[in-house]
Structure 1
């Protein structure tokens, strides 16, 4: 894998909404536009369309995602939709599981994500 992946955990409808919202939000950044995509899970038998469960982007974009990701997370938590559980996946297979319950968690999440995206600074 030569890309980062941000996957979501929880109710499939909420996961799909969060993954699509994050991809759309990241795509508004000029440096990321057209360079992020949703990972789609095939539909279950009898269902139409796939469910988005993650956002994927090229490795070299890692640090560029940090600021818009943080803004999206803060906005998502302000909407009061409850806890968000995210797993970040590095190309080397390393994972970072994070969860945020409210705006007070954003800075701690930011610190962990920043170190994860740029492991040489750890």
Structure 2
């Protein structure tokens, strides 16, 4: 299955909020609608409900992959306006890359890195 995974380097509550925000953002995109899901961590004893520890995007190939790269980059730019965001992105083969954006300019530059990482064939299909 072609699944791309986003995990945030942040305390559990912050990572949960970032993960939910990214999944909602991607699912609101017309081209990605319904393709993002949350990977949940079971609740600790005595807690209700679990926390999301990753956003997974299913079927990330072709036009969906292009929409994912663009959507994730815009989301990062928006978040980097108010905080430093560190995210690990995993390809379907398990290979990972760590990306950090401390301001909108950093986040915008990460789009090229994300595109190169997720499209190892080097083809830009936009």
What does residue 107 of structure 2 align with? 106
What does residue 77 of structure 1 align with? 80
Aligned positions of 1:1-122 closer than 5 A: 2-58=2-58, 59-60=60-61, 61-78=64-81, 80=82, 82-121=83-122
Q: CA deviation at 1:73?
A: 0.8
CA distance, structure 2, for counterparts of residue 28 and residue 56 of structure 1:
15
Equivalenced residues, count: 120
Report which of the two has the higher share of helix. Answer: 1
The structure 1 segments of at least 4 consecutive aligned residues displaced by more than 4 Å after TM superposition are none
TM-score after normalising by structure 1: 0.91
CA distance, structure 2, for counterparts of residue 62 and residue 6 of structure 1:
14
CA contact (8 A) 1:63 1:117 kept: no
Q: Pick which of 84-93 and 62-71 moved more.
A: 62-71
Mind listing any 5+ residue stretches in structure 1 that lack a counterpart?
none
* Paired residue secondary structure (1:40): strand
TM-score after normalising by structure 2: 0.88
